[in-house]
Amino acid sequence: MDPIAAKYIAAGLACIGMGGAAIGVGSVFGQFLSGALRNPSAAPGEQGRLFLGFALAEAFGIFSLLIALLLLFVL
């Protein structure tokens, strides 16, 4: 296999992590909304966990983008 083709395939596979991050963010906000609609008085207490989950999911997506860019332009 050509090394350049392998590099493009690896970068494409690393970009799957960005899709996982999108699914994670949707799941975090969906579960928060579901819980907030069931118990509105507890929603303000859960916002810290909401933002933590959002930040971790986005960090995963940014990390996978970084790996893909490193594979494409550095290696």
**Mean pLDDT within 1-29:** 87
CA 50, CA 29: separation in Å to the nearest integer?
A: 7
CA 67, CA 61: separation in Å to the nearest integer?
A: 10
- Label residue 14 by pLDDT band (50, 70, 90): confident
CA nearest 66: which of 19, 15, 27, 22? Answer: 15
Question: What is the structure's pLDDT at 56?
Answer: 85
Domains of the chain in sequence order: 3-73 (1.20.20.10)
Question: What is the structure's pLDDT at 24?
Answer: 84
**Mean pLDDT within 6-35:** 87
pLDDT tens track for 56-74? 888 888 998 898 889 889 8
pLDDT tens track for 26-55? 888 898 999 889 998 988 888 888 888 888
Note the pTM of the prediction, 2 decimals. 0.73
